[in-house]
Structures are given as structure tokens and as C-alpha cells.
Chains A and B, each alone.
Chain A
Amino acid sequence: EVHLLESGGGLVQPGGSLRLSCAASGFSFANYAMSWVRQAPGGGLKWVSSIGGSGTATYYADSVKGRFTISRDNSKNTLYLQVNSLRAEDTALYYCAKHPYDTNRASFDYWGQGTLVTVSS
């Protein structure tokens, strides 16, 4: 059974940083692209970033480019999102999501339960 468990969220001041993690199990992690999707309180879903199975190919939404860095450790079956220079508008529940293939040009077939990032002074 596929399982995705996010961690690392919390309350941070504007300009601060966090490292989000997503521990994956139940599938061959290195064979699939992974993404982060966020949802502001009461809002809709917004794609943040994706990474290919080998970790070489990475993609970012314009709103986070230069501030967020996606990476993965296939030996640990873990996905990461380093979030820097945080702004109030980055406040959201951050979901880790799996793609059904090794490409981010695909749907999201499994989702974690999310980790909450709150940016406030």
C-alpha cells in the first residue's frame, strides 16, 4: 500500500526557512516523479514543484522559483522541499504527491495528508 507522510511544517517568521520532508513507502520510489502541492486555508490546490525519479529534472512554479528547492534521497525513500525567504502568502498545507509515471506531465495518483506551514510574525 502506498503511503506518503509529510513532516517539517510549523510557524515561521517572514523571511524564515523550513525543510519539509515526505517519507514514502509501498512503491519503488526512484521510479516515479514526485511533486509538492499546496493549499492555502480555505483555498484551492496549487502546484508548487516537481522532481523526476532520478532527481535530475526539477520544476517550479514561478511564485516560488529561486526561494524553494526540491530534492530527493532515493536511498531513504524521502522527498524534500527546502523553503526559504518565506512570505505570508506561502502559508498553506503542503501536500506531497506521487505521479503514476516518471514524469510530472501526469496526474497525482497518491497524496499524503499534508504538513502545515504558517508564516507570521
Chain B
Amino acid sequence: EIVLTQSPGTLSLSPGERAILSCRASQSVITRYLAWYQQKPGQAPRLLIDGASSRATGIPDRFSGSGSGTDFTLTISRLEPEDFAVYYCQQYGRSPLAFGGGTKVEIK
């Protein structure tokens, strides 16, 4: 079973700043089968990044994903007010499907 560890737990930043979120896997993630989601309070998660680096439909290009093996990163180049939310990574290369514990990006 792959365990995903996200860091930091909370990221306090100001609008316009860059956010760098980490997701580390306990085993190598097959073929970069890793996704990132955004969840705002009271809402369902929304797919941001698939296949480690491909933006989902309608996702702005300030969101980018990178990484392979056991280390993955979600970067938000310049935070907009609507980007303050919780972000989850998820691996789907091996069963069981697994999510990381989440990183909260809050306004500083």
C-alpha cells in the first residue's frame, strides 16, 4: 500500500506569491499516475492536475505539476484570492487508491 505524505500541512502566503506544495510517496508511483485536487470549504474536490503534470480542462496555467518516482510538486505561480483552499494529491498506480493528508493554503 502506497502512503502519500503532503507537506507542509499549512502554507501561509499572500496573494501574488508563489506556492510550492510537496507530495511524497512511500513507494515509487507507477508511470507518474498522480493527480492533484483543490477543495474549498463546503465544496467537492476539483481535479487540477492528472498524470503528474497535465492540467485538467479549464484549469489556469498558473497551476503546474511536476515530479516522478516518489517526489511530486504542485506549484501555483501567483496566488489569486480564489486559490486559498486545501490541496490533495492522489496516486492511482497501485491498489488501493490513496490520497495524501492535504495541504491548506491560507491567506497570510
Give A residues with C-beta under 8 Å from B. 35, 44-47, 50, 59, 61-62, 95, 100, 104-114
Contact = CB atoms under 8 A, between A and B. Distances in A.
Given A44-B101, A107-B90, A112 B47 contact: no
Interface of B: 33, 35, 37, 39, 43-47, 50, 56, 88, 90, 92-93, 95-102
Interface SS of B by simple majority: loop
Contact of A111 (B35, B44, B101): B44
B99 A114 contact: no
Interface SS of A by simple majority: loop
A105 B100 CA distance: 16
Given A105-B33, A107-B92, A47 B99 contact: yes
Nearest to A47: B97
Contact of A50 (B44, B46, B97): B97
CB-CB nearest 9 A-B residue pairs:
A107-B35, A111-B44, A47-B97, A45-B99, A107-B50, A44-B102, A44-B101, A105-B92, A109-B47
A111 B93 contact: no
